[in-house]
Amino acid sequence: MKFIRLKAVTRKEFYHLIRDYRSLYLAFAIPLLLIILFGYALSLDVDNVETVFVDYDKSELSRDFIRKLDASPYFRVSALLPASKDAVDFLDHDRAKLAIVIPPDFKKSIGADREIQLQIIIDGSDPSFGNIVRGYISAFVERYNQKMLIHFLNRQGQERIHPPVDGRVRIWFNEDMESRNFIIPGLIAVIIMIVGAILTSLIIVREYENGTMETIKSMPVQAGEFLLGKAIPYFFIGLTDLLIAVLLGQLLFGIVMKGNFGLLMVAASLYLSVALSLGILISNVTKSQMLANQMAILTTYLPSLLLSNFVFPIINMPKFLQMITLVVPARYFIDILSGIYLKNLGIAYLWPSMLVLLLMFIVLTFLNYKMLKKEGL
């Protein structure tokens, strides 16, 4: 490998990059857009569920029940409707997600120590939401029942009855329970994959389509120099994007990493290298810009979003998909990010993920090298 040739290739690639204002601008605008917009906009936390009541009882007790539900941060009572069919209407029109019907003998039954039926309807079209709401409403009802029981027993006996067990819940790692705290670090993985792979997927294809690849093959440029020279400018862009993302996360959203920044940089560089190699591989294989772009989206953006534990837990996936996630680089990087941001883990815990990334990088580079050599470089 000759340094002077490497410099020439790198420099040409830099010029390409810098003079293509649109691509350059996008390389920075995309991370900015993602972090700012999504940091503010995206949240998976469920609270203030739109709830409507149909109260056929209209007693002090039923109103108290409604008030108690409304007091919970999880629910928001938005309307008191006169009849069930109005509730149905609301659900159909998406004006409420939860409807509860209180029967006419609510107060009487409770006063007479009789069981009463409560009709609860959840809008299940969004299952994530539906599942969570189901959990919340069950908990609310159970809690209400427990109170009822204790009142009942207190009325029976002399002493004060206490609930036997009290659960003390301590949340670890994301103490303020903001989904943002795991979404934003996760976005970093998505961003780097996008910038790394989608940008680079075009750079070699471009040479093929323009015909300049022929010229390059006839020159003494070696495959290694070519690969490195092409990747270097994008490496710097990727790192810059990383810094922007980290900085924005901190400045705008107060998301501070508990762990070691240096470790993050090392891991990020590794991940970035994997992303770049992947992009270059796609570029080498497809030789058509349109195809390269679609392949890049399919094999880098979507997996890093869906199969990386970013939003959808891998544990919940069917076995065959779980196997596939083993080759998704983003999965390991998100492990590392979550470890550094939320858990303050050090290299002692993170080395396996980093090792996998390193292996991926080596394999991809080897493939790229072999392909270029086959082309005659």
Partner 1 sequence: MSWLRIRELVRKEFIQLFNDKRNRAMIMIMPFIMMFVFGYVVNYDIKNVRMAVLDYSKTPESRSLIKSFEGNNIFHVTHVVANEKHMTELLLRQKIDVGIKIGHDFASVMREGRTAPVQFLVDGSMSNMTSVRVAYIASILDRFNREELRKLYPVDMSYGKLDARVRTWYNPNLDSQYFFVPGIVAFLIMLTSFILTSIAIIREKEDGTMEQLIVTPLKSYEFIIGKTIPYIIIALCQLFAVTAVAVYWFEIPFKGSFVLLLIAACLFLLSNLGIGLFISTISSTKQQAMMTAFFFILPFFMLSGFVFPIANMPEIVQWLTYLNPLRFFLVIIRDIFLKGVGMDVMWPQYLALSILGIIVFTGAIMRFKKRLD
> Is 237 a residue that touches partner 1 (CB under 8 A)?
no
The total of other beta-carbon atoms located within 10 Å of residue 226's CB is 26
Smallest gap from residue 17 Cβ to partner 1 (A): 11
| Window of 228-236, 268-276, 295-303, 357-365 that interacts with partner 1 by CB under 8 A | 295-303
**157, two tokens:** 């006996």
**352, two tokens:** 């396996």
> Is 10 a residue that touches partner 1 (CB under 8 A)?
no
> Is 33 a residue that touches partner 1 (CB under 8 A)?
yes
Using CB under 8 A, which of 10, 14, 26, 265 touches partner 1? 26
The total of other beta-carbon atoms located within 10 Å of residue 210's CB is 10
Q: Say if residue 54 is exposed, middle or buried (CB neighbours under 10 Å; 0-12, 13-18, 19+).
A: buried
CA distances for 218 relative to 214, 221, 222, angstroms: 7, 8, 10
How many residues can be counted in the chain?
377
Using CB under 8 A, which of 15, 18, 85, 138 touches partner 1? 138
Q: Select 145 or 250, whichever has its Cβ closest to partner 1.
A: 145
Using CB under 8 A, which of 338, 357, 371, 377 touches partner 1? 338
CA end-to-end distance (rounded Å), the chain: 13
The DSSP H or E segment spanning 26 is helix 21-41
Q: Select 43 or 212, whichever has its Cβ closest to partner 1.
A: 43
Q: Please, which of residues 314-333 interact with partner 1 by CB under 8 A?
A: 315-318, 320-321
**213, two tokens:** 């690849």
Q: Select 93 or 220, whichever has its Cβ closest to partner 1.
A: 93
Smallest gap from residue 4 Cβ to partner 1 (A): 28
Q: Please, which of residues 106-125 interact with partner 1 by CB under 8 A?
A: 109-125
**88, two tokens:** 């149905």
> Is 169 a residue that touches partner 1 (CB under 8 A)?
yes
Q: Select 107 or 361, whichever has its Cβ closest to partner 1.
A: 107
